[in-house]
A and B are shown apart, each in its own frame.
Chain A
Amino acid sequence: MLKKLRENKALQGTFLALPTTLWLFVLLIIPLFLTLIISFGKRSPDGGVIYTFTLDNYIRLFGYETNCANGQSACFDPLYVQILWRSLTLAFNTTVIVISMAYPLAYFIARAHPQKRNTYLFMVLIPLWTNFVIRVYAWMMLLRKEGAINIILGTVANWLGIDFVPLEMLYTPGAVLVGMVYEFLPFMILPIYTSLEKIDNSLYEAAADLGANPIRAFLRVTLPLSMPGVVAGTILVFIPVMGTFIVSDILGGRQVILIGNLIQRQFLDARDATFGSAASLILMVMTLIVTYFYTRKFGFGEEIVAA
């Protein structure tokens, strides 16, 4: 038996991949399959599932309504599409801001003295070691009307003799954006750093020899070579932002419903697992499509490494 294992490469491969595949199959694929089946079901009066086949949930998601306001027999209710769009916009904005903040930092670390790089990296990681929710809550303390930021601004204003009205920062969409950026910044810094670090110094020397100034060198050498890192980071940021509901709940005052909130509500408050399952699957499919095209265009690779 063992001999056969040693000789047959395909068998070796299967053996190595089997534990993981089995684990994921049982714990993820089976539940996912169940989710798929449930999404075609109907909600029973008490919140259970009636197993049947109907596309009602999907139709509802895409806006088809039968009890319309102005007596039409069918109309378009943009509610869920609006929610989806809002989530996409937030994810996009977060990603763009995160990239613009992460890149200089990653660049700095990559160009730092080799012995110091670890320290800088760990300094980025340390906030991650606190609890996710605590970090969000910490921003509440900073942003609220009598919070730290307003206190500081007020002291400075007094010092300068300017009139100061405390800023209303908390429970606004801006606060949600700040919170999201904060939570996911490290996940962009690390991949970009990894790809920047790999760039061979000789490339810079070559560029300099060929007469390029720093800006050109950056645009023609650094940026293209760091793209895999940016791509990896985008995936690590964009996807979770779409699904996170805690940040918008705590920092946004639960005023705004994003797709993560919608799905959570279906499973808990509405007790409508059928609709929730349909929404989850649509979200997953969209995420997969976006990921697929994005990586096709920009290359996917090695830089999904987090450290």
Chain B
Amino acid sequence: MNPFKRSPFVIIATTLVYIFLYAPIVGLILYSFNASRANVTFQGFITQTSDRVVMDGSLVVASPCGAFHWYCDLAKNRDVLEAAGNTLSIAFTATIISTIIGTMSAIALQRYDFKLKPFSQLALYIPIVIPEIVMGIGVLTLFSQFFGWLNNALALSGDARLSLGIFTVTVSHIAFMVPFVTLVVQARLQGFDKSYEEAAMDLGADEWTTFRRVTLPMLLPGVLSGALLAFTLSLDDFVITFFTNGPGSTTLPIYVYGLLRRIITPQVNALSTVWILIVFFAVMAIQILQSRDAKPRHA
């Protein structure tokens, strides 16, 4: 136990910071009920009379959803759903692959010495310092040249031609996600207590078994943290995705950014609110599950 009590300064500061973090979110949610299409100022909550709602003070719109008008609008918007689906499937695929190869390289860098090592380490820093647009355009040029050459070499034409799409986006995402996974796992490995592994080997386990039954489970929190970080990065990426996507592979950030730049309806707010709620309930569910089967923790 920390013999020094928590000072009131810390508590006040913490509360203020949390308020700061959530003020825009609250605003976002409130405005998703805005009785205004332009969504510039808040014109009150949507109220419903029979099956009509009033927008912008005068326009009457038929809507069975009442205060949730914008949510119903959102559900009818197949573009958004398609974009959301794309975003998630790209994020998942990219996360799985980058976690696997990222963990592998973290172990390599932390525990082995090999000629490739300094080169690998340097390579990992680049995605962190490179401006996104440089990477975006660079990768686009690369794909264009490569596809151009490959299409000619294999004499592909029409729809069979290789071109930008979900595949290229996923591949690019993995490139900027991997360094983060590697760093996180490497950090976890740094403070790693090798005595468990040594004990296992003393008891007769070979290297692979030790890795599988001892190292990996102990490493798992770091691996999952890295995966979570990578996943978040992929979800939010705009610049690189813009330059590497193709017809039909629009992701949510691109769709939203484009939408925000032209028409700002509360539909976007509704989308954000839904997204937040999904995550919120997922977290709550996990907390409940956790407290149910929580065993006494070590001090």
Contact = CB atoms under 8 A, between A and B. Distances in A.
Interface stretch (B18-26, B45-53, B54-62, B68-76): B18-26
A96 interface: no
Interface string A108-119: 100100110011
B189 to A, nearest CB: 9
A127 B131 CA distance: 24
A182 interface: yes
Contact of B222 (A10, A235, A260, A305): A305
B128 interface: yes
B187 A303 contact: yes
Nearest to A116: B287
Contacts of A137: 260, 264, 268
B14 A108 contact: yes
Contact of B279 (A18, A124, A129): A129
Nearest to B109: A17
Contacts of B17: 101-102, 104-105, 185
Contacts of B283: 119, 122, 126
A135 interface: yes
Interface stretch (B132-140, B148-156, B157-165, B193-201): B132-140
Given A130-B25, A305-B187, A291 B129 contact: yes
Given A17-B104, A280-B134, A23 B120 contact: no
B265 interface: no
Given A27-B139, A205-B3, A6 B25 contact: no
Given A31-B141, A32-B138, A141-B31, A21 B257 contact: no
A101 B20 contact: yes
Interface residues of A, number: 94
B133 A27 contact: no
A288 B129 CA distance: 7
A61 interface: no
B24 A138 contact: yes
A25 B179 CA distance: 12
Query: Main SS of chain B's interface residues?
Result: helix
Contacts of B13: 101, 104-105, 108
Contacts of A10: 112-115
Contacts of B41: 146-147
Contacts, number: 272
B186 to A, nearest CB: 8
B172 interface: yes
Nearest to A302: B187
Nearest to A265: B133
Contact of B1 (A119, A146, A201): A201
A104 B4 contact: no
Contacts of A304: 183-184, 187
Interface string A129-155: 111111101110110001110010000
A264 interface: yes
A287 interface: yes
B4 A214 contact: yes
Contact of A118 (B42, B182, B290): B290
- Highest count of chain B CB atoms <10 Å: which of A6, A105, A208, A260: A105
B297 A284 contact: no
A52 B25 CA distance: 51
A122 to B, nearest CB: 5
13 contacts: A13-B112, A21-B123, A28-B175, A107-B10, A118-B290, A123-B21, A129-B279, A142-B23, A185-B20, A204-B2, A284-B129, A305-B183, A307-B225
Given A10-B113, A123-B18, 16 more contacts: A12-B112, A13-B108, A30-B142, A104-B10, A108-B11, A111-B10, A131-B252, A131-B253, A131-B275, A132-B253, A146-B41, A204-B2, A205-B3, A239-B129, A260-B131, A283-B131
Interface of B: 1-7, 9-11, 13-14, 17-18, 20-25, 27-28, 30-31, 40-42, 101-102, 104-105, 107-109, 111-117, 119-120, 123-135, 137-139, 141-142, 171-172, 174-175, 178-180, 182-184, 187-188, 190-191, 207, 222, 225, 228-229, 232, 235-236, 238, 252-253, 256-257, 260, 264, 268, 272, 275-276, 279-280, 283, 287, 290-291, 294, 297
> What are the nearest 7 A-B pairs in CB distance?
A31-B138, A13-B112, A104-B13, A138-B24, A16-B108, A13-B114, A17-B108
